[in-house]
Amino acid sequence: MQLTTQQVEDFHNHGVIVARGVLTDADLQPVIDELSAWIDERAQTLHAEGKIAELHEDAPFEQRYGLLFGQCQDIGQGMDIMFYRGRAMFNFLHNAHLLDAVEGLVGPEITCNPIQHLRAKPPVAFDPHTGPSFHVVPWHQDAGVMMPEAEGSNVVTCWLPLGDATEEMGCMQALPNVFRNGYLRHLRAGGTTIDPALMPDAEPLSLACRKGDVVFMHRLTPHRSTPNVSDQCRWSLDLRYQTTGHHTGRTAHPDFVVRSRQAPSSVMDSYTKWRTDWIDAFENPRGVVGHRAE
């Protein structure tokens, strides 16, 4: 779905928008099915090791992970995009509906930035740690996890839920209109967070979403997530796309072209190569992966 002129204008004015209905159930279901199979395999392994007593095989996708996580937090080990490296996930990174919207913000030459995550935020009933964590992310700018060399890069964050992401479920919050202040110093204490002394005096905007919606954010827009007090997991993909040729901000991890009008043959559509490139990045580390936190 292409963004409207008004949506593009709002993004450039405010640094964040919620685009409704960009994706269909058919776009997301292959990823959900792949994750369901991965979780089941992982649960079976942990059950065999005596770490999980109840498999909850009949529980829906929105609830099963939380029920398993409450028994053994190891259930999520290796579940991030670059670790489990699923074919359906790779295919989704090329999703035409998503790229049509991205094109309105970065242009027709699009590269998939390597900074990307899959998150399953379990209910606090199963994860009582509500302070800064992978599940409850503190105020930060995405530029805080990118190299300074990417300061001029046109990198856009695409955050999307695999189900609903309501306020009760711990949706994101952002501070609109302050991205023009530039990069704010980040501290390591508290998990790569903006120095409290530099936090802008702005009213947080709730980014509640329904399945199919996509949040687009400027890399300098401060944002955070909140605790999940519902009885369901909040599943989300945290992806980034950029104008091809711009610095990725993370040279140790593989980027690849997903759309090109000028050079269609440059589009990387080989799942095997993508998987191999990630394995090589971890087995033969080179380049830079780092946060700018002090």
Rg of the Cα trace of the chain? 19
Q: So what's the pLDDT on residue 127?
A: 77
* Cα→Cα distances 155→62, 185, 288, Å: 30, 19, 17
CB 106 within 8 A of CB 12: no
Q: How far apart, in Å, do the first and last CA atoms of the chain sit?
A: 40
Q: So what's the pLDDT on residue 290?
A: 85
Per-residue burial over 98-129, b if 16 or more Cβ lie within 10 Å, else e, is bbebbbbbbeebbbbbbbbbbbbbbbbebbee
Could you give the domains of the chain?
5-283 (2.60.120.620)
Helices (H) and strands (E) in the chain, counts: 7, 12
Q: What is the pLDDT of residues 125-166, one digit of tens each?
A: 887 665 545 678 899 999 999 999 999 999 999 999 999 999
Q: What is the pLDDT of residues 76-114, one digit of tens each?
A: 999 999 999 999 999 999 999 999 999 999 999 999 999
CA 283 to chain centre: 23
DSSP designation for 290: -
Q: What is the pLDDT of residues 188-247, one digit of tens each?
A: 987 899 999 999 999 999 999 999 999 999 999 999 999 999 999 999 999 999 999 999
Residue 16 half-sphere exposure, CB side, CA atoms within 13 Å?
A: 23
Residue 100, token pair as written in the block = 């049509």
Q: CA–CA separation, 134 vs 116, rounded Å? A: 13
DSSP designation for 209: B
pLDDT of 274 > 80? The answer is yes
- 82-86 CB contacts, 8 Å cutoff, 24+ apart: 82/114, 82/116, 82/253, 82/278, 82/281, 82/282, 84/38, 84/118, 85/274, 85/275, 85/278, 85/279, 86/31, 86/34, 86/35, 86/38
Reported in sequence order, the residue ranges of the chain that DSSP labels E, i.e. its strands, are 16-19, 110-112, 117-121, 155-161, 172-174, 186-187, 193-194, 205-206, 214-218, 223-225, 234-243, 256-259
Helix, strand and coil content of the chain, in percent to the nearest 5, comes to: 35, 20, 50
What percent of the chain stands above pLDDT 70?
A: 98
Q: What mean pLDDT value characterizes the chain?
A: 95
Q: Which amino acid, one-letter code, is at 49?
A: E
* Cα→Cα distances 244→82, 110, 142, 219, 275, Å: 21, 5, 18, 16, 21
Q: So what's the pLDDT on residue 37?
A: 98
pTM to 2 decimal places: 0.95
